[in-house]
């Protein structure tokens, strides 16, 4: 008898069972009181659902340090008939978690891809101005965006758009946390642990994107992804051959600072943040 057979079968059974759970429609979670002068973090989402898939650190900052988290819906997807429904799903997901929401344009921005930046500089410049205006409006202490090699062309385009907007915006100095989903980072420097409760809330919030998870129930695979992040992050963040932390679920990031002109590294090596340490300590 292979002693691992039952372990694998149980893991598969959990995902199968998850297919019967409700999609969205859940009452909003309790949200801490956020003061008017609370630090702001802008989460630049390439698509509706990135704010829940990759939004765990933002959620922890809101809950533990009482930050004001605002999701910026860079696009509303590429299918015209799905843009309005996706926006409503996004509103419901953000409301469930307690995130604010900013849209960029009616229907979201189109053509947020490297090819547009290279071939249509006029259209690209207009998009950059929109994002720069949001940066100047909110004066964030922190922004989230995908890293430059995140494979999906809209994810890569969102990275380029945010960096170009930072260069254009006036008087912006902030921390920048790069996220990954489609393409793995080669040089992350931060791994953040999530509690089972926080991860369950991210899964539930992702389920509000009903039209997407009905065709591909990726919300059910978030725990497996977060566990694999622990495997990778143990050495990519902690150093090759280093001892693995005892995290069960975690997400990998690259944290830097925008000094008004360019991104600057500020961690010497990598850092692990356990669920027992206030997330606000990352950004004093």
pLDDT in tens, 85-111: 999 999 999 999 999 999 999 999 999
With a cut of 70, list the residues of the chain below it in pLDDT: none
pLDDT score at 243: 85
Please give the full DSSP string across 235-283, using - where no structure is assigned: HHTT-TTPPPP--SSEEEEEEEEE-SSSEEE--SS-EEE-TTS-GGGG-
pLDDT score at 267: 78
pLDDT score at 225: 98
pLDDT score at 166: 98
Angle at 281 between CA 277 and CA 284, to 5 degrees: 175
Specify whether the CB–CB gap between 96 and 26 falls below 8 A.
Answer: yes
Neighbouring residues of 112: CB distance < 8 A, sequence distance ≥ 6: 46, 74, 75, 127, 154, 157, 158, 161
pLDDT score at 269: 85
């Amino acid at each position: 008898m292979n002693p691992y057979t039952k372990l694998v079968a149980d893991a598969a059974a959990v995902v199968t069972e998850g297919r019967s759970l409700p999609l969205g429609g859940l009452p909003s979670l309790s949200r801490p009181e956020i003061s008017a002068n609370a630090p702001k973090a802008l989460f630049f989402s390439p698509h509706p659902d990135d704010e829940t898939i990759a939004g765990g650190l933002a959620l922890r900052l809101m809950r533990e340090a009482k930050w004001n988290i605002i999701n910026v819906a860079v696009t509303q997807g590429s299918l015209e008939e799905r843009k309005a429904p996706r926006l409503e799903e996004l509103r419901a997901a953000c409301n469930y978690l307690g995130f604010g929401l900013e849209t960029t344009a009616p229907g979201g921005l189109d053509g947020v891809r490297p090819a547009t930046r290279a071939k249509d500089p006029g259209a690209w410049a207009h998009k950059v101005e929109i994002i720069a205006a949001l940066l100047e409006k909110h004066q964030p202490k922190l922004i989230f965006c995908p890293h430059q090699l995140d494979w999906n062309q809209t994810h890569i385009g969102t990275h380029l758009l945010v960096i170009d907007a930072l260069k254009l915006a006036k008087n912006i100095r902030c921390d920048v946390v790069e996220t990954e989903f489609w393409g793995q980072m080669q040089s992350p420097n931060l791994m953040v642990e999530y509690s089972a409760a926080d991860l369950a809330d991210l899964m539930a919030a992702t389920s509000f994107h009903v039209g997407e998870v009905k065709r591909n129930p990726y919300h059910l695979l978030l725990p497996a992804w977060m566990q694999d992040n622990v495997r990778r992050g143990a050495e990519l963040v902690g150093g090759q051959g280093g001892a693995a932390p005892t995290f069960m679920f975690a997400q990998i990031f690259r944290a830097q600072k925008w000094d008004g002109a360019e991104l600057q590294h500020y961690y010497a090596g990598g850092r692990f943040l356990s669920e027992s340490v206030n997330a606000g300590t990352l950004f004093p």
